[in-house]
Amino acid sequence: MIRDATATKARILEAATTEFAAHGLAGARVDRLATRAGANKERIYAYYGSKEGLFDAAIESNIEQLLDAVPFTAEDLPGYAEALFSFNLAHPEFTRLALWHMLERPGVMARLPQTAASTVRKIEAVGRAQRAGLVDDSLPPDQMVELVLAVVHSGLILPPGGDPDDIAARQKALRTAIQRLAAPSN
């Protein structure tokens, strides 16, 4: 029975990712995603409490997948940026999900447990890399982390079906930009 519940939750979160990425929180329909997940609405509300709770859980689940797939390497920020860019390109629904979440649950993402903990770890790692002389220290570590993420995401607000040459150019610019931002000056 526990294994059943785990499988059901995984299907619900997958269907929720698709539904919220397409329509956002206000536009999402729980009955539509329930049908897609092969679960019933009552069970979804029993697990997640509300449509908002399910939206937050879908973001957390996607962030967990990202954290597993793309380890943060403070000593190689250009490499991290490229890996994150590639992950996001392969999961376009994740970028949309995150943008909707910023608009419809403003300020909530930073407080989600996974996100908050992983941000703290990233900031600590950049601080250590700065003290070791591996990363420039003219920016405080929290701002450096935020900038790296912002620069990665700047390349992702692409029209659907961005052409491969354009993507390759962005990936190259990304590496150059992060090197300029993060390489120690001395």
Site residues (CB under 8 A) for its own copies? 23-24, 26-27, 96, 99-100, 102-103, 106-107, 110, 136, 138-140, 143, 146-147, 149-151, 153-155, 157-160, 169-170, 173, 176-177, 180-181
- Which C-beta is closer to its own copies: that of 9 or that of 33? 33
Q: Which two tokens stand for residue 46?
A: 């029993």
- Which C-beta is closer to its own copies: that of 83 or that of 151? 151
* Terminal-residue alpha carbon distance, the chain: 59
Measured distance CA(5)–CA(21) in Å, rounded: 24
Kindly report the number of other CB atoms within 10 A of residue 68's CB atom: 8
Distance in Å, CB of 70 to its own copies, minimum? 18
Q: Which of 59, 152, 143, 70 is CA-nearest to residue 109?
A: 59
- Which C-beta is closer to its own copies: that of 9 or that of 101? 101
- Which C-beta is closer to its own copies: that of 70 or that of 99? 99
Measured distance CA(69)–CA(12) in Å, rounded: 21
Measured distance CA(50)–CA(53) in Å, rounded: 5
Distance in Å, CB of 135 to its own copies, minimum? 12
Distance in Å, CB of 93 to its own copies, minimum? 12
